[in-house]
Chain A
Amino acid sequence: DAKTTQPTSMDCAEGRAANLPCNHSTISGNEYVYWYRQIHSQGPQYIIHGLKNNETNEMASLIITEDRKSSTLILPHATLRDTAVYYCIVRVGAGGSYIPTFGRGTSLIVHP
């Protein structure tokens, strides 16, 4: 799996958009970008994933650059409950075998 680089920490005001970047410059053509988050003392929670196109669901939006070397997770209206560590993972998608490894992620703190 391609390695990813994320900022160690970020903060955001409640109600504002949180934009979390991820660099994955060595991503391969068949590798997807996945985002998970982990609230303190809980298991990771899937947020969103994408291959080339931008994706949106009820939790977040994922913007992937045209060269696919970086992406941004957007939480459009952050709340205090969005305070968590966010992990960007690049891996082969459906049908492929992979070793799911996590980097250090970005610790997002949403403040009032």
Chain B
Amino acid sequence: GAVVSQHPSWVICKSGTSVKIECRSLDFQATTMFWYRQFPKQSLMLMATSNEGSKATYEQGVEKDKFLINHASLTLSTLTVTSAHPEDSSFYICSARADGLAAEQFFGPGTRLTVL
């Protein structure tokens, strides 16, 4: 299957700083990318859907000014957690989908964010 990478795989930052997480589709062009958040012992929660070249669509309860999503190219989407706080500590997972691949969804390995 297609490969999706995330960088970094883990990050520790101080409260109040911003953190950028990259999601790349390595061998296909991703028209749509999704960002999920997963707290310990819980399921994945969809945060937002982004389509290349347009603004992301955020799920209810997700602050768009805090979680900035950019999908500037067909192989790269970024999630920036602005002014991070300890409650933002979580496992962030992206997934990518290309229309030509029967709408299949491929997931990245995740990024563990710890805010001190």
Are A101 and B109 closer than 8 Å at their CB atoms? Answer: no
- Dominant secondary structure at the B interface: strand
How close is A28's CB to chain B, nearest CB, in angstroms? 16
B interface footprint on A97-112 (CB within 8 Å = 1, 0 otherwise): 0111111110000000
Chain B residues positioned under 8 Å from A42 (CB to CB)? 109-110
Q: Does A45 contact B (CB under 8 A)?
A: yes
B interface footprint on A54-83 (CB within 8 Å = 1, 0 otherwise): 000000000000000000000000000000
Q: Contact residue range for chain A?
A: 20 to 34
Using a CB–CB distance below 8 Å, which chain A residues touch chain B? 36, 38, 41-46, 87, 92-96, 98-105
20 contacts between A and B (CB under 8 A): A36-B107, A41-B112, A42-B109, A42-B110, A43-B4, A43-B107, A44-B93, A44-B95, A46-B1, A46-B106, A46-B107, A93-B102, A94-B103, A98-B103, A99-B49, A100-B46, A102-B43, A102-B44, A102-B45, A103-B43
